[in-house]
């Protein structure tokens, strides 16, 4: 299939890099977002997301004349839906007394409806948003078929999950293997034709529901593996073992690869996607459910660690280093660091948090600072929540000059114990019991 124009709906972490990459490969692209602020920012030459290399890519795409931005879809040969699929904030499902989070598919639904008036015979529609199994055939296809055209007969329909790692999106978008699941073989082939414009990795064709499951399986697999690492950190703490040393030794086994414990699992993917399986089949997913529970409760384990290190929480001044969901990204969605800062404040601590990628962000319940020295000033304890490079590279002697605090809690296992000790700090690490 040939593509003279592509319409990408949703200009977030995935849609914007995808639209820009097609544009820099010479294909006219209209990028669509319902958020007027996003449209205005992009039209004014700005970029609303921090991702290494993205600004340069968007500038190149705009300069080439191939990327335009709009708040409405336009007729095109291919439509790509890359909108968020969060879960409902305050509506839970339940099964045998256990509650689970439910997917909010309203953005996918309205993006699909926005395409409807522009859909023409021979077009290709691709859903990229992470979705519960069968979304392409049970939700997207029926909406598009209101046009009178039939999916897989009059137009092509496919599901192609994005699998890029935030922080490395631009490279992985091109180099990773790409899965394309079509509602028919021809739809999968049309999807493969589209992504082969820039994808250098292998393009694997399958059916739409398999592709949806593959995406959820990948992130669920990672979630469960992080959960076991987090559970090991609790066991090590109980038994007086250094979990980092124990994992390092265990990982020398040729078939063992334990991930890193931490303050919990955040971000818009891994902490969300496993719930799509649980919601779709609660009777079949006890392992997935409980791994989610372990990771969601890890912030409470960190609170207990901080309480032990500080003696008490009430009235203690705590400098929280980092609020992002992981290192070197600006994304605060579902971030355990934000939850921990809030929980500490609820328990009476005076929290000053500094997030270098989003210093302006404000929260109810705790203070944020515009720079690191302001957070360190007057602190009783430092709490490292995100392993940002800037924090890993801190010189503890310099930090000692900026704060009266002499206790540091490292929830990421990234600070060098010897260097911090030499600078006069007592270092408490997650997964290493210290009284």
CB of 280 to ligand SAJ, least distance (A): 17
Minimal CB distance to ligand SAJ: which residue?
269
324 binds ligand SAJ (CB under 6 A): no
Pick out residues in 38-77 that bind ligand SAJ (CB under 6 A). Answer: none
Does residue 267 interact with ligand SAJ by CB under 6 A? yes
363: left (phi over 0), alpha (psi -120 to 50) or beta: beta
- When the beta carbons of 203 and 379 are compared against ligand SAJ, the nearer one is 203
Residue for token pair 């290399």: 53
Q: Does 178 bind ligand SAJ (CB under 6 A)?
A: no
Convert residues 207-226 into a mask of x (bound to ligand SAJ by CB under 6 A) and - (unbound): -----------xx--x---x
Considering the rule CB under 6 A, would residue 260 count as an interface residue with ligand SAJ?
A: yes
Determine, following the binding rule CB under 6 A, whether residue 316 of this chain makes contact with ligand SAJ: no
Give the one residue of 101, 326, 352, 407 binding ligand SAJ; rule: CB under 6 A: 326
| 317 vs 326 by CB, closer to ligand SAJ | 326
- Residue among 118 and 333 whose Cβ is closer to ligand SAJ: 333
Q: In b/e form, how buried is each residue of 401-428, taking b as 16+ CB within 10 angstroms?
A: ebbebebbbbbbbbbebeebeebebebb
Say which DSSP state 150 is in: P
Q: Let me know: does 115 contact 41? Beta carbons within 8 Å.
A: no
DSSP label at residue 356: T
DSSP label of 95? E
Element (H, E) at 79: strand 78-81
How many other C-beta atoms can be found within 10 angstroms of the C-beta atom of residue 354? Answer: 22
Among 114, 158, 203, 265, indicate the residue that binds ligand SAJ (CB under 6 A).
265
Q: Which residue from 28, 31, 166, 413 is in contact with ligand SAJ, where contact means CB under 6 A?
A: 166
Member of 22, 244, 301, 325 binding ligand SAJ (CB under 6 A)? 325
Based on the shown chain and the rule CB under 6 A, indicate whether residue 143 belongs to the binding site for ligand SAJ: no
Q: In whole angstroms, give the CA distance from residue 418 to residue 396.
A: 10
Long-range contacts (CB closer than 8 Å, 24 or more residues apart) made by 50-56: 50/329, 50/330, 50/357, 51/13, 51/17, 51/166, 51/167, 51/169, 51/170, 51/329, 52/167, 52/168, 52/170, 53/170, 54/16, 54/17, 54/20, 54/169, 54/170
Minimum CB–partner distance for residue 326 and ligand SAJ (Å):
4
3-state secondary structure of 321: strand
Q: Cβ closer to ligand SAJ: 179 or 349?
A: 179
Residue 270 touches ligand SAJ, criterion: CB under 6 A: yes
Residues carrying an active site annotation = 215, 269
346: enclosing H helix or E strand: helix 336-346
Q: Which of residues 79-138 bind ligand SAJ (CB under 6 A)?
A: 130
**φ/ψ (deg, to 5) at 305:** -65, -45
Residue (194 or 386) nearer to ligand SAJ, CB: 386
Q: How far is CA 260 from CA 79, 95, 128, in A?
A: 38, 31, 28
> Least distance in Å: CB of 163 to ligand SAJ?
4
* Total site size for ligand SAJ, rule CB under 6 A: 20
Nearer to ligand SAJ, 101 or 163 (CB): 163
What are the residues binding ligand SAJ (CB under 6 A)? Answer: 130, 162-166, 218-219, 222, 226, 259-260, 262, 265-267, 269-270, 325-326
């Amino acid at each position: 299939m040939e593509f003279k124009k592509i319409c990408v709906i949703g200009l977030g972490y995935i849609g914007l890099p995808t639209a820009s990459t097609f544009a820099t490969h010479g294909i006219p692209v209209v990028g669509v977002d319902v958020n007027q602020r996003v449209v205005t920012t992009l039209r004014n030459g700005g970029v609303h997301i921090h991702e290494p290399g993205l600004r340069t890519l968007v500038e190149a795409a705009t300069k080439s004349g191939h990327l335009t931005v709009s708040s409405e879809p336009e007729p095109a040969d291919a439509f790509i839906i890359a909108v968020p699929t969060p879960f409902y904030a305050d509506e839970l499902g339940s099964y045998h007394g256990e509650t689970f989070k439910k997917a909010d598919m309203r953005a996918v639904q309205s993006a699909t409806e926005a395409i409807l008036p522009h859909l023409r015979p021979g077009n290709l529609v691709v859903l990229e948003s992470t979705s519960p199994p069968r979304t392409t055939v049970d939700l997207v296809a029926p909406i598009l078929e209101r046009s009178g055209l039939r999916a897989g007969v009059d137009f092509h329909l496919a599901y192609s999950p994005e699998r890029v790692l935030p922080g490395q999106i631009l490279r992985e978008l091109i180099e990773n293997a790409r899965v394309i699941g079509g509602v028919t073989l021809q739809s999968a082939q049309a999807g493969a034709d589209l992504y082969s414009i820039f994808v250098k990795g292998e393009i694997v064709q399958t059916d739409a529901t398999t592709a949806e499951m593959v995406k959820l399986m990948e992130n669920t697999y990672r979630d469960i593996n992080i959960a076991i690492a987090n559970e090991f950190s609790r066991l090590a703490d109980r038994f007086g073992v250094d979990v980092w040393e124990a994992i390092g030794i265990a990982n020398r086994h040729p078939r063992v690869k334990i991930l890193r414990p931490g303050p919990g699992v955040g971000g818009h993917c891994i902490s969300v996607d496993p719930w799509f399986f649980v919601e779709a089949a609660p009777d079949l997913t006890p392992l997935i459910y409980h791994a989610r529970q372990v990771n969601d409760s890890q912030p409470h384990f960190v609170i207990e660690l901080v309480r032990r290190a500080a003696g008490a929480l009430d009235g203690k001044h705590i400098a929280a280093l980092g609020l992002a969901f992981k290192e070197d990204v600006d994304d605060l969605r579902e971030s355990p660091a934000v939850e921990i800062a809030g929980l500490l404040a609820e328990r009476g601590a005076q929290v000053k948090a500094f997030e270098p990628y989003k210093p302006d962000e404000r929260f109810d319940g705790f203070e944020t600072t515009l720079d690191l020295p302001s957070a360190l000033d007057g602190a009783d304890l430092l709490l490292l929540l995100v392993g940002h490079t800037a924090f890993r590279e801190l010189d503890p002697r310099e930090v000692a000059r900026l704060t009266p605090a002499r206790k540091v809690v490292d929830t990421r296992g990234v600070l060098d114990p010897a260097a911090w000790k030499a600078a006069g700090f007592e270092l408490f690490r997650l997964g290493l019991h210290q009284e």
